[in-house]
Structures are given as C-alpha cells and as structure tokens.
Amino acid sequence: MTGDPLRQPVIDALSGIIDPETGHDLVAMGLIRSVEIEGARARVTMTTTIRGCPMAEMLRLGAEAAVASVPGITDAEVTLEWEPPWTPDRIGGGVWA
Amino acid sequence: MPGKHLARWTLSWFASALSFLLAALALAVPFAPAPGAWLEGRGLALVHLLALGWLSQMMIGASLQFLPVLLARPLPWPWLSPLSLALTGVGTILLALGFIGLEGGGTGLLALAPLPLGAGLGLFLLMAGGTLLPAGGWRDDAGRPVLLALAALILTFASGGGMALAGTGGPVAISPEALPFHVGLGVAGWLGLATAGVSYRLFAMFLIAPDGGGRLRRITAGAALCLTGLLTLGLGLAGHWPAPGWLLPAAMICASVTAGLYIADIAQVWRSRRRARPEVNMRMTRPALAFLALAALLAPVAAIDGRFAEAAVFAALVGWLSGLTLAQMVKITSFLTWIQVFSPRIGKQKLPQVHELVDDAACRRWLGLWFAGAALGTAALLAEHAQGLRLAFAVLLVAALGIAREVRAIRRLAHLSFAARPPVLPPLFLPQLRMDPT
C-alpha cells in the first residue's frame, strides 16, 4: 500500500545504499521499481543499470539487509527485474511505482 | 549468487599483459630499430610483444570479463581462461625469440610459436564465441564489431602463422606480400573493432549515458564489414594473383571512414552523458581518440608510403589502443577491486566509492606522459629520426611504470585511510580461492 506508514522508512533505508560507481543512492538513481508493504512484510522490486551488472546480486542482498533493519519490518524480500530496462532518464525520478 | 557475471582471471590477464608491455618498452629503449627498419627480426619481435603480449592479452582479459556483463550471459567453460592465458603467453615469447633468431641463431622457435599461440587464441575464441553466438551477437550494435574482430583475429593468426612458416621453409607458406593485409587485420580488424565494440556499451556505462546505437552504429558496422572484406580479399590474393593496385588504398580509406564514424558516435555518447564530471579514465579517452583520428588521417597515405605506414601503425597501437587500454585498466582494476573487497558489506555499513580507490591526479599525470611519448614517437617515425624514437620509448617506459605503480596501489587500497582498509586484502593479481567459479 502506498499510504502505509512503513513505506517511507523503507524508502529511506534504500536511500542509504550508495551506488559505488555514481555516488547516487539506489532511489535517486531510479533503481527501485516498487515498494509494497503488507503489515510487517516489505516487498521491493529493483533493477540495475544493465542486466548483466556484476554487482546486481550484491546490491539486492544489501537492499534486503537495509529493508530488514527497518523497525516494524519482520520480513523483507527484494527481487530484481530488468523489463522495461533502466535508462539514465530514471535518475532523480524516485521510486517508479 | 554474488558476482555471478565476474570472470576470475581478469587481473591475471592484466598482470601478464602489463609485464609484456614493460618488457617490450625496456627492450625498445636500447634495441628499437631505426625508422624504416621495422621488418627486421628485432622490430618484428617488439611489435608482436606489443600487439600480442600487451594489447591482445588485455583485450582478451577485458572481453572475458565484459562480454558476459554486456550480453547478460555467463561465459561458457570459464576454466579455459588460465589455460588460454598460459598458452598465449608462451606462444608470444616463442614468437618474439623466433623473430630475434631471424637475425642469426636459427628459426626453430618461429616454427614452434604458432602451436601454443593458436591453441591459446582458439580457447579464447571458444569462450567468446560461446557467449556471443547464443546471445545473437550479430543482432546487437556492440556485438557486430566484436564478431567481426574475432573473424579478423582468426585471419590475422592464419596469415601470421603462414608467414612464420614461410620464414622457416615450412610446408604451408604465405607470401610476404600479405604483410600489409595481415597488419591491417590485426590492428584495425582484431584490436580496433574489438575495442570499438566493447567501448560502445562500456563508455555509456562509465558516462551514465543512453546506450546510443541506432543508424550511425549500423553504418559504422557496414564500413567495418567492408574494411574486413577488402583486407581478407588482399590476404587471399597475396602470393597467388597480383593484387589490384587500388585494393590496399581502398581498404585504408575504408579504415579511415570506419574510424571517423566511430569517433562521431562516441562524441555523441559523450555529449549525452549524465555524469557531470567524467572520471580520469574517460577524460583520458579523449587524447586516445585524437590518436585514432591521427592514424585515420595517415592511413590513406600509408598505403603508398612506408614512412606514413609505420607512423600510422604506431599512432594506432601506442597512442590510441595502448593509451585507451591503460586508461580503462585503471578503472576496471578499481571497479573489480571494490567488488572483491566491499560488495559483501553493501547495506551494512558506509563504504568508499570506487573512485576513492584511485589517485586521479597521479593517473592523469602518467597517462599524460604516455600520450606525450606516443606523440614524440609518431613524430620521430614521420621525421625518420632514430634517436627521437628511442627517446619516445624511454618516455613511454617511465609512463607505463608509473601507471603500473598506480594499479598496484589500487589493488592494495593504498589511497584509502588505514581504517577503511580490511585486515586481509585479496591477492594482487591471482583469483581469490573462495570466489564462485562461474
């Protein structure tokens, strides 16, 4: 739910992860596709700048750890999706949906 | 799984290639032939140490790392990589010794060199082709030039092997008339087109730019196909039928057109970048591309004047390809080092950024010196000035040593504060044993 009080803390946690290449955080880079909260469960869908990104899995695991550390969240799941692909126009656009 | 698209042996390829570069330059300072005498044994040995040992090993190492990343497809049979590295290394050393033997001392090693070299390159072709072909690389703007480059590598090796056997009286011999086409396929075909293909997507990533593509890239691929076709025709005719006089100049004009289109494409990527201040590897790509433009201007004249041919090949091999490779080596090494050391801690603590592993000013200084040496060497070849050429090699050697020192500092995290460094660092250039084998 987009109006859930835990949504913003989860987005804030994701904003704490800095892309080491660009210096932007995951949200500012436009790499977070969606954030869904159901009770104490958070489901996040993210992407990477290219499908074969060698850091994809490490970024996913890092995002999952950050979301799981949000008070009130007991179950965090972060998945990767690449369609439609990320483009530089996504930078600064925040969470896609 | 973590790092599933990471190749394990990239830094070993880089270390081997860098060793070949330093050895070639150290030998070139006292022993480089005078301008106009580069077809002597010593000259051929130095050229092949640079083209095969340095540039080809760097290109193979980078391709095995980035083809799976760019095509999102794992490398098949990655365990062939160290075997390919060892065989290409041994083959290059035998070839260089064989060329030196042409000046007295026997040509046995020259006949032997194609065996390990062919086996090493063949293993690379299996891995690269096994990634590109199932991914439909010929439909991809970046894949097309790389596939053409692989075809050019096969032809370069076949013609070079044939000429080596001709020099030793072997059963399969290719006429020395094939030499300009062999050089064209090696420099413009294999090294040039592979660099172009990989750089299209890599530069877009480094600059945070849209992955261009489109009409200009398809026209460039058409010009590259034309270039490869003309050079292959010349190779096929050499020694059997007299090659028409227009063939080599036409191929060189085609090379210039391909280079011009490629530069225009990269300029477009540069203009559309979202990274406000490009890092040192991309800033120093501009002088490298200026050397490509210079080589493209010299190429049509090179077909009729040997002095211009030597200068064009030097500008391409040393100024463009080596300058670009050294600049990107700094970036790729820092990127891979960051992944090895810091990626398991993402989301758990504050981490340094990739560029903090690099001393930007020092890299800019050494790369600047490299380009100064490349300019001096090109000018010395044009002026037929032997001492100037040796001085250029000395300048290039100092610059290469400076860059090698910086690469070592990156691997040792020497530019980070003591507190930011982990207690145990990864090996300098060998793979980490604990890493996933894919």
The separation between CA B169 and the C-alpha centre of its own chain, rounded to angstroms, equals 31
Residues B117, B52 contacting (CB under 8 angstroms): yes
Question: Which residues lie closer than 8 Å to B323 by C-beta, 6 or more apart?
Answer: B284, B287, B288, B291, B367, B370, B371, B374
Nearest CA in chain A to B331: A21
pLDDT digits (tens, 9 = 90+) for B24-78: 999 999 999 999 988 889 999 999 999 999 999 999 999 999 999 888 888 999 9
Question: Which residues lie closer than 8 Å to A71 by C-beta, 6 or more apart?
Answer: A9
Q: What is the dihedral of CA A19, A78, A60, A24, to 10 degrees?
A: 0
Question: Which residues lie closer than 8 Å to B320 by C-beta, 6 or more apart?
Answer: B288, B289, B291, B292, B295
Q: What is the pLDDT of residue B2?
A: 40
Tokens read off for B321: 């390809």
Residue of B68, B344, B348 lying closest to A52 (CB–CB):
B68
Question: Which residues lie closer than 8 Å to B30 by C-beta, 6 or more apart?
Answer: B390
Q: Name every chain A residue with its beta carbon within 8 A of the beta carbon of B1.
A: 57
Q: How many CA atoms lie within 13 A of B73 on its CB side?
A: 17
A contact set with B (CB within 8 A) = 16-18, 20-23, 49-59, 61-66, 82, 87-89, 91
The answer to whether B1 faces chain A, any CB pair under 8 Å, is: yes
Q: Could you give the 3-state DSSP secondary structure of residue B221?
A: helix
**SS3 readout for B316-328:** HHHHHHHHHHHHH
Q: How many CA atoms lie within 13 A of B181 on its CB side?
A: 27
Secondary structure (DSSP) of B337-388: HHHHHHGGGTTTS----GGGGS-HHHHHHHHHHHHHHHHHHHHHHHHT-HHH
Enter the CATH code of domain A7-84: 3.30.300.130
The answer to whether B277 faces chain A, any CB pair under 8 Å, is: no
Q: Name every chain B residue with its beta carbon within 8 A of the beta carbon of A56.
A: 5
Residue B299 identity:
A
Burial letters B35-52, b for 16+ CB under 10 A, else e: beebeebbbbbbbbbbbb
- Per-position pLDDT tens, chain B of length 438: 445 567 899 999 999 999 999 999 999 999 999 999 888 899 999 999 999 999 999 999 999 999 998 888 889 999 999 999 999 999 999 999 999 998 887 778 888 999 999 999 999 999 999 999 998 889 888 899 999 999 999 999 999 988 887 766 655 556 778 899 999 999 999 999 999 999 998 999 999 999 767 899 999 999 999 999 999 999 988 867 777 889 999 999 999 999 999 999 999 999 999 998 999 999 999 999 999 999 999 999 998 888 999 999 999 999 999 999 999 999 999 999 999 999 988 988 889 999 999 999 999 999 999 999 999 999 999 999 999 999 999 999 999 999 999 999 999 999 999 999 998 899 999 987 654 433
What is the Cα–Cα distance from A23 to A28, expressed in whole angstroms? 10
Computed over its alpha carbons, how large is the radius of gyration of chain A?
12
The strands making up A41-46's β-sheet, listed across from edge to edge, are A32-38, A41-46, A75-80
Query: How many C-beta atoms surround the C-beta of residue A22 within 10 A?
Result: 17
Q: Name every chain A residue with its beta carbon within 8 A of the beta carbon of B345.
A: 62
Query: How many C-beta atoms surround the C-beta of residue B169 within 10 A?
Result: 9
Q: Name every chain A residue with its beta carbon within 8 A of the beta carbon of B347.
A: 16-17, 61-66
**Dihedral sign computed on CA atoms, order B54, B59, B60, B61:** positive
The answer to whether B70 faces chain A, any CB pair under 8 Å, is: yes
Q: How many CA atoms lie within 13 A of B319 on its CB side?
A: 27
The separation between CA B314 and the C-alpha centre of its own chain, rounded to angstroms, equals 13
Residues B234, B189 contacting (CB under 8 angstroms): no
Instruction: Establish, for the pair of chains A and B, how many residue pairs have beta carbons separated by less than 8 Å.
Output: 77
Q: What is the pLDDT of residue B4?
A: 58
What is the Cα–Cα distance from B73 to B40, expressed in whole angstroms? 44
Q: What is the pLDDT of residue B438?
A: 35
CA angle B73, B75, B77 (to 5 degrees): 145
Q: Which residue has the tokens 């150290």?
A: B26
Indicate yes or no: CB of A52 within 8 angstroms of CB of B210.
Answer: no
Secondary structure (DSSP) of chain A: -TT-TTHHHHHHHHHTPBPTTTS-BTTTTT-EEEEEEETTEEEEEE--SSTT-TTHHHHHHHHHHHHHTSTT--EEEEEE--SSPP-GGGTT-----
Count of H-run helices and E-run strands, chain B:
17, 0
Q: What is the pLDDT of residue B7?
A: 87
The DSSP 8-state label assigned to residue B242 in this structure reads P
**SS3 readout for B296-322:** HHHHHHHCCCHHHHHHHHHHHHHHHHH
Strands A32-38 and A41-46: antiparallel
Computed over its alpha carbons, how large is the radius of gyration of chain B?
21
Q: Which residues of chain A have pLDDT under 70?
A: 1-2
Indicate yes or no: CB of B335 within 8 angstroms of CB of A21.
Answer: yes
Residues B325, B53 contacting (CB under 8 angstroms): no
Indicate yes or no: CB of A50 within 8 angstroms of CB of B69.
Answer: yes
Q: Which residue has the tokens 């490490």?
A: A58
Residues B148, B204 contacting (CB under 8 angstroms): no
Q: Name every chain B residue with its beta carbon within 8 A of the beta carbon of A65.
A: 346-348
Global ipTM: 0.89
